[in-house]
Amino acid sequence: MVEVIDYARPGPLTSLDGVDPLALESIAADPLSICLPVHDLVIQPTGAQTLDLPADRFDENQIRPASSLVQRLLALDPAPLTTAREPDKRVVGTCRHFAVLSCALLRHRGIAARARCGFATYFQRGQGLDHWITEYWDDSSSRWIRVDSEILGQTVLPHPHDLRPGEFLTGGEAWSAYRRGEIDASRFGVHGTENWGPAEIRGNAVKDLAALNKVEVLPWDEWGRMTDAYAGKTGADYDALLDELADVCATDDPAAVSALYEHEDLRVPADLLR
């Protein structure tokens, strides 16, 4: 039987079970007030390199469960999560960590929320950079609002609390745009690496489907046929599957999203859920 996805409840990687309740008591009730403090809970590895941290601190970007991220934060500084941390007391992580922490805290307050994997077009002009954001359901406007917790309170965009269409493309949205000839895939990829092109869009499309099923993997996790896809070893049949994936994700029908996720090439294996 196909499971109905309830985005207001935690998934296996966004549960905060085991976290000291006192650390969560001060979490706000409205979405933006929940997301804003996350900016001061995570630091990118590039930002942490100047802090003279122990080498093992950089392993924090390998942490998948939000509960483990929060427990590490509390071990560094036991203050409530609404308290801004000094840079050396933040967990070392990627954009995925900002997005997943925000998603976990929103779900903790019973707010329907999802992490999304795709590409941001607002960091470098003319490029779509590998990125994760969070979105939450707003009843008053009957829509999902996309928020980039990593840049809240900064000047990258005037509205990181409500991203405009095209500023962030999910993996599926980027794939459809590529297939329609609307974007140059060579301009989509991972900043600071050689990983650019259709293969990166394929990978993020699959990761975004997983996130829509409340499984928010690490940016470099691979499963199914993803390794072959990154190496250019898949063909038309896999691309046709991704066409279906993009169409299903665009309909935003939880039943269809859940059903497609059962495909053997798309479902995340159990060893990536811890």
**How far is the CA of 132 from the CAs of 40, 146, 190, in angstroms?**
17, 10, 12
**4 pLDDT band (50/70/90 cuts)?**
confident
CB-CB contact of 189 with 198 (8 Å): no
* Cα distance between residue 175 and residue 201, in whole Å: 6
What is the chain written as a DSSP string? -PPPP-TTS--TTT--TTS-HHHHTT--SSHHHHHGGGGGTEE-HHHHTTTT--GGGGGGGG---HHHHHHHHHHH--S-TTSPPPGGGSEE--HHHHHHHHHHHHHHTT--EEEEEEEESSSSTT-EEEEEEEEEEETTTTEEEEE-GGGTTSSS-S-TTSPPBTTEEEHHHHHHHHHTT-S-GGGEE-TTSS-BSHHHHHHHHHHHHHHHTT----TT---TTHHHHHTT---HHHHHHHHHHHHHHHHT-HHHHHHHTTSTTTSPPGGG--
CA torsion 131→268→209→1, rounded to 10°? -160
- Per residue in 17-70, pLDDT (tens digit) is 999 999 999 999 999 999 999 999 999 999 999 999 999 999 999 999 999 999
Domain boundaries, the chain: 21-272
Residue 241 φ/ψ, nearest 5 degrees? -65, -40
- Per residue in 104-119, pLDDT (tens digit) is 999 999 999 999 999 9
Q: What is the pLDDT of residue 21?
A: 95
* Cα distance between residue 78 and residue 148, in whole Å: 25
How large is the average pLDDT for residues 137-150?
Answer: 97
pLDDT at 122 over 60: yes
* Cα distance between residue 99 and residue 94, in whole Å: 9
Q: What region does 126 belong to: left with phi over 0, alpha with psi -120 to 50, or beta?
A: left
Pairing mode, if any, of strands 113-120 and 128-138?
A: antiparallel
How large is the average pLDDT for residues 132-147?
Answer: 97
Q: What is the pLDDT of residue 2?
A: 57
Its sign, for the CA torsion 214, 220, 221, 225, is: positive
**How far is the CA of 173 from the CAs of 182, 241, 250, in angstroms?**
11, 14, 7
pTM of the shown model: 0.97
Among 172, 168, 161, 165, CA closest to 211: 172
* Cα distance between residue 167 and residue 106, in whole Å: 22
Q: What is the pLDDT of residue 19?
A: 97
CB-CB contact of 175 with 246 (8 Å): yes
